[in-house]
Structure 1
Amino acid sequence: MSRLVCRINPVMATQLARIAADKLMKHGARRAPASSTICHPCRLRARPLHTSASRRTPPNTTSRSAPQTPTSSTAITARVAPIGWLVGGGLVASLLAFSQTHDTDNPPEASVSPSADDRDPSIPRFRLSDVRKHDANSPEPWVTFEDKVYNITDWVEAHPGGDVILRAAGWSIEPYWNIFSIHKAPHIREILEQYMIGFIDAADLGPDGRPAAESIEDPFVDDPVRDPRLITHTVKPRNAEPPNEELDRTFYTPNELFYIRHHMWVPVVEEAKADEFALTVELPDGEAKRYTIGELRSKFPTHKVTAALQCSGNRRNDMTRHAGKTNGLQWGVGAISNAEWEGVRLSDVLADAGLDTTPAQPEANSLHAQFTGAEAYSASVPLPKVLSPTGDVLLAFNMNGEPLPRDHGFPLRAVVPGNVAARSVKWLNKIVISDEEATSQWQRRDYKSFGPNEGPNPDWDKAPSIQEMPITSAITGVWVGDCVRKVPWMGGGNGVKSGGSKRTIDIAATPQKVGFTPKPETAAPCPETTPDNEPIVLQGYAYSGGGRKITRVDVSLDGGATWDQAELVDDCSNPATPCYGNKSWGWTRWRYNGTLPVLSLPTSTTTTTSSPTPQIPTAIQKVGQDCEDGFGQSVGGLMGQLPKKQCTTLIVKATDESYNTQPESHKGIYNVRGNLATAWHRVRICPECNKGKGGGLVWNTGETYGCGFRKEAEEVREGMRAASASSGSGK
């Protein structure tokens, strides 16, 4: 924790101490307990307060109206910002997650402000020339925002990413906010106000009450070019997922379509010098050893592991739509991808560095492997995971048979199969074996989950950091009616098991555009119901953490009233996609072919009745009630009321070899961070009468892709972008 210590003359000491205390209390500060340094709001390990002998005295850099005599000081400790609200944008998140304020025996004094300055006169003023002196080379770096000054000294020392923050030291953070625009939010401003140490002097302000605008070099200027097919949630830093039609088209996700999750910009490492890139390994006794990638390649045997990486926020948009508002990037079902990784085992490297890697060693259970990347991201995993003979933790330099792409960690990354992808740190340059987990906000405050009742300010220390991922599954493609002819994986007459039998579908090419039911050549009247044998084909993926194998995928076409089993694709038996590793670390693709229930198709959207409609069987009405909101809620609220639409909800849920299965509802696992959104995946599909030329029947959905739907991939992208914008930023 930091302190604001004011040395003043004896006459003014009491009065100014009271004013300062009142002001800081007004902005959310609290008086420092005499014998405590616990940072309650952030619940991270607090650093001891500086003793008088250890305090650093910065250069006398600011203007003073008169010399002052040091006297006894009054210490006031400000509240630390809840870092969990701030992380996720890298630099700007770091710029805000700092502790307030100035700690010195010789603080700068306020300059005399012009009479036109109507800001609070009890708060100090600082000239910009003095702020400039508190740059990255100063023992006390400062930043400004609008007309205020902030001290970031203790944050830089206490948190990873400090070197990144120093880019803004001595200057304004506003140009960085213009780049990390996702952080321009009211709650961020409220937090920032807690850490002000003074105003910019009025002499340095323009007519608009702000200093002259500054410009900075865009730190993202050297980021790689991305595939345009990716659905982008944020541009700077880039966070993007593949569209459903590309997500699980193949067992191994192509490198250019592998989902992207960044907190900052992509570090630049010259390809020609990749083998010189160094990794430092530090043991608990402080001994450290350095390895270049060239040495890793030549000194240790290489291994391959097939593993899916999944963000803890995958399917967060489902939780938002079905349970409540969540803070974070509104991922669809695509924050997961599968790849073949190649590198050296971390356990081999640790043994070479001098660590006792015997799995049975008692000390291992209390140790952690902390990973730090070149862009300052930091996370950790328990050491037993690393030392397990079947853990398959790699220091990887290849991905799908090629050098790691820059977006995915070039030239070196950790791959921790079965665990949340947040632990597979990219651009890896340091590993520390420690008796505690990583102290970064990404470990201690971000990637955790809480009970539905705990609200936006949970006790972060109460919940363990997410490591092994729970089971999940998703529908990624749906084809209805004649469009089953377009199912890409049904070539060669291969059917898909459905209800214990096989159906072979003629997949001869048809001229219609994927995304639309073919229109008849002549106008046809709208039918009263959908056909009683309307074929439907689904595809998707299932995954369980910890290396647990998927053993069953259940599919429902009527909102959960009845169930059937999908066929699991045995990709590992395909010579073109062999699986590597000691456990089932990869995802499992599944396929399903069935027949839709009969649905009514009212020609009028205003028809209602107070009693059951005779021509529509009760079972069909039940299907309609399950579908309007896609979450099992009654349409119109009454069994006898004919809804404007009669839809059905497709559902998928998976089971692994330990008989773990997915929860039915997101409401039961809701948390404001939107982590681990693993409830049954639901996709609503609705038949409608085609009112355009040709008439007939059309289907629509906004949640997946395939043939037979009015909405195509671009419309899905737009919907996801809108949901992301309305829900705010985050992880």
Structure 2
Amino acid sequence: MEGIKVSFENEPYRDPDFIINHKAPFNAEPKPDVLVQSFITPTEKFYVRNHAPVPDICPTAYTLKIDGLVGQPLTLSLNDIKTKFEKVTITAHLQCAGNRRTAMSEYKKVKGVGWGIASLSNATWGGCRLRDVLLHAKIFSKESGANHAVFWGLDFGCPEDNGKPYGSSITVEKAMDIDGDVLLAYEMNGETINRDHGFPLRVVAPGIIGARSVKWLDKITISPHESESFFQRRDYKIFHNGVDWNNVEKYWDKTPSLQELSIQSAICVPAPNSALYLPFTITGYATSGGGRKIERVDVSLDGGETWDYAELLGEDKGVCTKYWGWTLFRYTITKLPQLEGKDSTKIKLVCRAWDLSSNTQPKDVKDIWNLRGVMNNCWHTVDVTILNQNKKSNL
């Protein structure tokens, strides 16, 4: 970072109710109960994952460059992007690969921003298809080596990458899939996208980890190779549990970069260690990667010994359609036989999701622990105390 001045003096306004996990660069998540209040996350409540100061970009001076393995390199203005290409709107959630990292670190220490269960959110995105722009640039064939769409942002000052801007990449196969719905987005929830979320233009690559949806997009290079960025080559990878900081160097290049999200779910209400009266309702979210639909969410009141189905609250888009948005779920508990005759009883709530490919979540964090603390999707548990309503006056 020598010669590069990094300043956080011109950051945008943020919701004061955010749970701030890192101040500079800003990384924050909404409170879990707020997260699941609506299917579409309000923009001001949408989690924020930044790697450097937020750039302040003049929209009229902005240009997007397309180069590399294309027959017609392009320099497009924001107006070009809005007027020369069909506008598409999708509903999609974005999720940090480090979601639930704190819980993984509680089992065994990992390195990274300490996210809780809310480093994901769901929004509507408006923009043009990346596919259409690349076709306009006359992208070369895969046989010619066009394998990766490499993205660079305008957020200079990433300390992990010697002050370079943030960079990442996805496969050209994903970028060119008409059903892959990769957007160059300039709208979020029906309004101009704001600074924290990538103004004036960002990538939205649904179904894969949020790290690939580069914000403040500066350039797209079509390349035979994935991005050379630190965040593609030295981060966002999942190792077996025998890898530590003493031997990780020999594993970086032989371990693939994360792309599709794994199946995930978490209970957002009630909060851990709550004291509750019957009846009460469990509320949470479930997600999966690759556009796979959430088919069901199981809920247990006894630590996973017995299960029941939760009610799912999400989109019904029919058969053979990609599901990029999350699914919310709820389950109401009206009685507990073990509470009868007692002042209170402790129970362990658990959830696990299943998608249309019959993927489900592993039981224990110890089975998926990894050095970077990514993709923690073990069963989510919440311990609560249930108070006896009949003895309420005595408490």
Tell me whether the two structures share a fold, i.e. TM-score over 0.5.
yes
1:216-263 Cα deviation digits (max 9, x unpaired): xxx111100100111111111110000012101111100001000011
Task: Choose which of 376, 381, 384 in structure 2 pairs with 1:682.
Answer: 381
Aligned pair in 2 of structure 1 residues 297, 275: CA closer, same or farther (>3 Å)? farther
Aligned pair in 2 of structure 1 residues 600, 301: CA closer, same or farther (>3 Å)? same
1:170-203 Cα deviation digits (max 9, x unpaired): xxxxxx7xxxxxxxxxxxxxxxxxxxxxxxxxxx
Query: What displacement does 1:319 show?
Result: 1.3
Kept after mapping to 1: 8 A contact 2:312/2:329: yes
The SS at the match of 2:234 is: helix
Kept after mapping to 1: 8 A contact 2:63/2:78: yes
Say whether 1:658 aligns with 2:357. yes
Q: Take 1:479 and 1:334, find their aligned partners in 2: how far apart are those partners? A: 13
Where does 1:596-635 land on structure 2 (aligned, <5 Å)? Answer: 596-599=336-339
Code of the residue aligned with 1:381 in structure 2: it is: I
1:300-353 Cα deviation digits (max 9, x unpaired): 1100111100000001112122x3111111111100000000000111111111
Q: Take 1:365 and 1:597, find their aligned partners in 2: how far apart are those partners? A: 64
The SS at the match of 2:338 is: coil
Aligned pairs, number = 378
Q: Take 2:337 and 2:238, find their aligned partners in 1: how far apart are those partners? A: 38
Task: Choose which of 33, 39, 55 in structure 2 pairs with 1:251.
Answer: 39
Say whether 1:408 aligns with 2:201. no
Kept after mapping to 2: 8 A contact 1:669/1:677: yes
Code of the residue aligned with 1:355 in structure 2: it is: I
Task: Choose which of 591, 600, 605 in structure 1 pairs with 2:330.
Answer: 591
Code of the residue aligned with 2:372 in structure 1: it is: R
The SS at the match of 1:647 is: strand
Code of the residue aligned with 1:586 in structure 2: it is: G
The SS at the match of 1:446 is: coil
Where does 1:5-16 land on structure 2 (aligned, <5 Å)? Answer: none
Task: Choose which of 291, 316, 320 in structure 2 pairs with 1:547.
Answer: 291
Match of 1:371 in 2: 151
Code of the residue aligned with 2:184 in structure 1: it is: L
**Please, what is the CA RMSD of the aligned residues?**
2.6
Query: What displacement does 1:596 show?
Result: 3.4
Unaligned stretches of 5+ in structure 1?
1-94, 96-164, 169-175, 177-218, 481-514, 519-533, 574-578, 604-644, 697-731
Code of the residue aligned with 1:245 in structure 2: it is: D
Say whether 1:261 aligns with 2:17. no
The SS at the match of 1:598 is: helix
Aligned pair in 2 of structure 1 residues 448, 258: CA closer, same or farther (>3 Å)? same
Query: What displacement does 1:600 show?
Result: 8.9
Where does 1:711-730 land on structure 2 (aligned, <5 Å)? Answer: none
Match of 1:302 in 2: 87
Query: What displacement does 1:167 show?
Result: 1.9
Aligned pair in 2 of structure 1 residues 366, 664: CA closer, same or farther (>3 Å)? farther
Query: What displacement does 1:695 show?
Result: 3.9
Q: Take 2:329 and 2:21, find their aligned partners in 1: how far apart are those partners? A: 27
Aligned pair in 2 of structure 1 residues 565, 445: CA closer, same or farther (>3 Å)? same
Query: What displacement does 1:292 show?
Result: 0.5
Say whether 1:447 aligns with 2:216. no
Kept after mapping to 2: 8 A contact 1:444/1:460: yes
Match of 1:220 in 2: 8
Q: Take 1:364 and 1:655, find their aligned partners in 2: how far apart are those partners? A: 39
Match of 2:3 in 1: 166
Aligned pair in 2 of structure 1 residues 332, 344: CA closer, same or farther (>3 Å)? same
Could you say which structure has the higher helix fraction? 1
Q: Take 1:665 and 1:342, find their aligned partners in 2: how far apart are those partners? A: 38
Kept after mapping to 2: 8 A contact 1:396/1:414: yes
1:597-635 Cα deviation digits (max 9, x unpaired): 5159989xxxxxxxxxxxxxxxxxxxxxxxxxxxxxxxx
Match of 1:347 in 2: 131
Match of 2:208 in 1: 419
Aligned pair in 2 of structure 1 residues 435, 553: CA closer, same or farther (>3 Å)? same
Code of the residue aligned with 2:52 in structure 1: it is: M
Aligned pair in 2 of structure 1 residues 564, 544: CA closer, same or farther (>3 Å)? same
Say whether 1:565 aligns with 2:357. no
Q: Take 2:311 and 2:190, find their aligned partners in 1: how far apart are those partners? A: 29
Code of the residue aligned with 1:166 in structure 2: it is: G
1:46-95 Cα deviation digits (max 9, x unpaired): xxxxxxxxxxxxxxxxxxxxxxxxxxxxxxxxxxxxxxxxxxxxxxxxx4
Q: Take 1:301 and 1:689, find their aligned partners in 2: how far apart are those partners? A: 59
Where does 1:106-505 land on structure 2 (aligned, <5 Å)? Answer: 165-167=2-4, 219-270=7-58, 274-284=59-69, 288-321=73-106, 323-356=107-140, 361-363=141-143, 367-375=147-155, 376-456=165-245, 457-458=247-248, 459-478=251-270
Which ranges of 4 or more aligned residues in structure 1 deviate by more than 3 Å? 515-518, 570-573, 599-603, 687-690
Aligned pair in 2 of structure 1 residues 232, 352: CA closer, same or farther (>3 Å)? same
Kept after mapping to 2: 8 A contact 1:567/1:590: yes
Could you say which structure has the higher strand fraction? 2
Aligned pair in 2 of structure 1 residues 396, 436: CA closer, same or farther (>3 Å)? same
Q: TM-score, normalised by structure 1?
A: 0.49
Query: What displacement does 1:556 show?
Result: 0.1
Q: Take 2:153 and 2:241, find their aligned partners in 1: how far apart are those partners? A: 33
Q: Take 2:287 and 2:41, find their aligned partners in 1: how far apart are those partners? A: 14
Code of the residue aligned with 2:121 in structure 1: it is: S
Match of 1:630 in 2: none
Code of the residue aligned with 1:565 in structure 2: it is: Y
Kept after mapping to 1: 8 A contact 2:267/2:285: yes
Q: Take 1:694 and 1:677, find their aligned partners in 2: how far apart are those partners? A: 42
Kept after mapping to 2: 8 A contact 1:651/1:681: yes
Q: TM-score, normalised by structure 2?
A: 0.89
Query: What displacement does 1:393 show?
Result: 0.5
The structure having more radius of gyration, on CA atoms, is: 1
Q: Take 2:314 and 2:72, find their aligned partners in 1: how far apart are those partners? A: 46
Kept after mapping to 2: 8 A contact 1:307/1:339: yes
Aligned pair in 2 of structure 1 residues 542, 365: CA closer, same or farther (>3 Å)? farther
Match of 1:720 in 2: none
Aligned pair in 2 of structure 1 residues 599, 316: CA closer, same or farther (>3 Å)? farther
Code of the residue aligned with 2:97 in structure 1: it is: S
The SS at the match of 1:462 is: coil
Query: What displacement does 1:694 show?
Result: 5.8
Code of the residue aligned with 1:561 in structure 2: it is: E
1:555-590 Cα deviation digits (max 9, x unpaired): 0001111100001113458xxxxx9x9510000011
Q: Take 1:679 and 1:411, find their aligned partners in 2: how far apart are those partners? A: 36
Query: What displacement does 1:355 show?
Result: 1.3
Q: Take 1:666 and 1:426, find their aligned partners in 2: how far apart are those partners? A: 31
Identical counterparts, % of pairs: 44
Taking CA–CA contacts closer than 8 Å with sequence separation of 6 or more, which of the two structures ends up with the larger relative contact order?
2
Query: What displacement does 1:289 show?
Result: 1.3
Kept after mapping to 1: 8 A contact 2:233/2:257: yes
1:491-527 Cα deviation digits (max 9, x unpaired): xxxxxxxxxxxxxxxxxxxxxxxx8769xxxxxxxxx
The SS at the match of 1:232 is: strand
Code of the residue aligned with 1:598 in structure 2: it is: Q
Q: Take 2:324 and 2:350, find their aligned partners in 1: how far apart are those partners? A: 24
Match of 1:537 in 2: 281
Q: Take 2:297 and 2:145, find their aligned partners in 1: how far apart are those partners? A: 35
Query: What displacement does 1:688 show?
Result: 7.0
